[in-house]
């Protein structure tokens, strides 16, 4: 095994005006735009939502602990499960043991077929950086020992055939408890990159452009208080021209992402909270960054077809059912993909062509996602009957879709309606109604009827403003077909959902 190539991936038909050092052979590097790993946010359900909006953006899992992977991948295959359409997909591991990380990486590659494996060196959570045994601290704490990070990554690379990468901060800020101020400077991060690259051969560094504070500041504070230093990520790209750097932290719009990418020196830009808050921010990604046919043109070509969602070439939920429904456990049911593995890289290379284009409107996304949700719920009926108050799976499914109400008229009412419907589900289950009668699609349809029809049916865009302006021009201010009970009232909720 040899660490794998770090190839450009993802097909394209019309390259955008600029390119980066990592595009090759007419193919655009999939990392150009990526959706950041976010614990309790970027689960497989949210990634499906993202995929319905962008076919190209590179997606990431939440961080998974090395030990959880090593101990539980057989008994809990759903922990690492995903659908074929989620490719290109990076799995992020958390841990500090070179041996266990290598084992976990092997499982992720050989059994689950992730496209890339990443080591987390950026998480500042007290639970991972301040363990009693210093040797087991991980996340951002690892930055204090670049040689050890290099060793972990070397072992991971040796164990797998796919690229191995590292996500880190710019450094570690001094605190009262640990006043060492030598780890918070450009010189420090530059040395970190150099040492890690020399020791491991890792070539792609994803940099959250802030230092971490390892004690006395919450994880949320660690994502807002230390100042952003984007210029240092550009400086790294200048100083290490043979290495790839993805810039992360505080990017809100695709205009900002494009500004960072314009020089062609950065490998990519990663967005986290902006996408979680409003997945529609990915709407222009495929055309603008990967040269796909613009969504509008696609819509026109299929004029007369109200929905294009059904044109997906790979049905993720069928695939999910094949792997985890019926057969269960690690035997995997009637798997139809690549030999006997729990994941497949098959459709990754099949992506391309406009027939597999992402959804065109919010309604398309919601309908397609609801069909997936029905399939997932169908596999969880026993659990729903056993725990009618919790309804964990349907709630997770709904949570992943809530951002689709962002900025839409009636978006806040959409969220509230989802919550209300679950109360109704609990009541019906407790009243003895068979769980098969509960339909996730009905729930989504009812809740989304709270949104303004113009916003639901307008071509998907980061903001609903164009749909609104169009509606107002046609019908006058405040007019429209349905919903519209509140206007972008979801902003507060979104911040509440961030940890």
- Residue numbers annotated as active site: 123
Interacting residue ranges for ligand FMN, rule: CB under 6 A: 36-39, 41, 62-63, 92, 120, 122-123, 167, 208, 223, 248-251, 271-274, 498-499
As measured in angstroms, the least distance from the Cβ of 205 to ligand FMN is: 13
To the nearest 10°, report the CA torsion of 133, 135, 139, 145: 140
Closest CB to ligand FMN among residues 271, 458: 271
Tokens describing residue 275: 């996408």
């Amino acid at each position: 095994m040899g660490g794998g190539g770090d190839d450009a991936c993802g097909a394209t038909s019309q390259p955008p005006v600029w390119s980066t050092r990592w595009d090759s052979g007419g193919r655009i590097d999939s990392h150009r735009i990526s959706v950041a790993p976010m614990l309790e946010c970027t689960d497989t359900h949210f990634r499906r939502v993202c995929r319905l909006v962008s076919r190209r953006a590179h997606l990431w899992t939440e961080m998974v602990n090395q030990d959880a992977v090593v101990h539980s991948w057989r008994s809990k295959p759903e922990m690492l499960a995903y659908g074929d359409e989620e490719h290109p997909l990076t799995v992020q591991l958390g841990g500090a043991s070179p041996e266990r990380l290598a084992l976990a990486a092997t499982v992720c590659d050989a059994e689950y077929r992730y496209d890339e494996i990443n080591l987390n060196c950026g998480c500042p959570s007290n639970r991972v950086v301040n363990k009693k045994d210093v040797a087991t601290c991980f996340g951002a704490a690892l930055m204090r020992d670049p040689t050890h990070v290099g060793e972990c990554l070397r072992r991971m690379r040796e164990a797998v055939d796919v690229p191995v990468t590292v996500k880190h901060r710019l450094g570690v800020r001094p605190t009262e408890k640990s006043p060492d101020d030598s780890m918070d400077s450009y010189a420090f991060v530059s040395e970190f990159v150099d040492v890690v690259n020399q020791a491991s051969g890792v070539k792609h560094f994803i940099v959250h452009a802030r230092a971490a504070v390892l004690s006395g500041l919450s994880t949320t504070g660690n994502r807002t208080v230390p100042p952003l230093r984007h210029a240092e990520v550009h400086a790294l790209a200048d100083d290490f021209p043979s290495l790839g750097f993805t810039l992360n932290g505080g990017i809100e719009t695709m205009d900002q992402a494009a500004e960072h990418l314009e020089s062609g020196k950065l490998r990519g830009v990663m967005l986290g909270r902006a996408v979680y808050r409003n997945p529609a921010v990915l709407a222009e990604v495929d055309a603008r960054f990967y040269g796909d046919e613009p969504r509008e043109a696609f819509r026109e070509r299929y004029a007369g077809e109200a929905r294009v969602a059904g044109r997906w070439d790979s049905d993720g939920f069928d695939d999910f059912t094949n792997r985890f429904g019926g057969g269960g456990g690690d035997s995997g049911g009637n798997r139809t993909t690549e030999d006997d593995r729990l994941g497949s890289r098959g459709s990754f290379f099949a992506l391309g062509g406009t027939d597999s284009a992402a959804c065109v409107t919010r309604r398309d996304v919601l309908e397609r996602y609801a069909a997936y949700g029905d399939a997932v719920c169908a596999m969880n009926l026993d659990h729903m009957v056993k725990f009618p108050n919790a309804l964990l799976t349907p709630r997770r499914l709904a949570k992943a879709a809530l951002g689709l109400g962002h900025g839409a008229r009636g978006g806040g009412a959409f969220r509230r309606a989802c919550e209300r419907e679950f109360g109704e589900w609990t009541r019906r289950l407790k009243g003895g109604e068979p769980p098969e009668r509960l339909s996730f699609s009905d729930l989504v349809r009812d809740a989304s009827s709270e949104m303004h029809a113009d916003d639901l049916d307008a071509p998907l865009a980061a903001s609903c403003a164009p749909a609104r302006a169009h509606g107002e021009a046609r019908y006058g201010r405040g007019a429209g077909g349905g919903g519209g009970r509140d206007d972008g009232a979801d902003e507060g909720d979104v911040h509440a959902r961030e940890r």
